[in-house]
Amino acid sequence: MDRLLLEKISIAGTARVVGISELWLQKYINVLYQNISKIIELPYAIGKIILECDEMWSFVGTKENKQWIWLAIDRNSRKIVGVHVGSRDRKGSQALWDSLPQVYRECDVCYTDFWSSYNTVIPDKCHKAVGKETGETNHIERFIL
């Protein structure tokens, strides 16, 4: 079972193959997740911590059920260091910022687009709103396309 979960197979597909209910499998996954140690790696490079943040939308079930996926990526390591799924408003940008480990909330520079909710959450000392043409958000833009 555990090896199947490492594959890119849906919960429904895994349940069908193994012959168990999706509900049982979801509960099993939840228990596994709770027991995973939450070790946060510090940025691998000593020096400036530079973040790139952006959001994109997708839908669940129908196009009327739009969900926004907020991501923050460490430019140096290219690791996703923050994530939130929810609304595209101040609450969503706050949840993204809160999802960051403390070391990343003390970043040197955090590049975003000009979406206004970033201004209300990210500290002015590190926030830089830039256009796509600057190239400062290239990594996150390429990632979420």
In the predicted model, is pLDDT for residue 4 greater than 90? no
Q: Do 30 and 96 lie in a common domain?
A: no
- 54 to each of 3, 27, 28, 73, 141, how far by Cα in Å? 33, 31, 32, 9, 7
Q: Do 70 and 115 lie in a common domain?
A: yes
In-domain check, residue 43: no
- 8 to each of 12, 47, 112, how far by Cα in Å? 12, 36, 31
In-domain check, residue 109: yes
Q: Tell me what pLDDT residue 24 has.
A: 93
Q: Do 140 and 90 lie in a common domain?
A: yes
Enclosing domain of residue 24: 2-35
In-domain check, residue 110: yes
In the predicted model, is pLDDT for residue 141 greater than 90? no
pTM: 0.68
In the predicted model, is pLDDT for residue 22 greater than 80? yes
Q: Do 83 and 125 lie in a common domain?
A: yes
Helix-, strand-, coil-residue percentages of the chain, each rounded to 5:
35, 25, 35
Q: Tell me what pLDDT residue 96 has.
A: 95
**Angle (CA) 21 26 30, round 5°:** 150
* Mean pLDDT score, 64-77: 89
CATH code: domain of residue 65? 3.30.420.10
* Mean pLDDT score, 14-30: 90
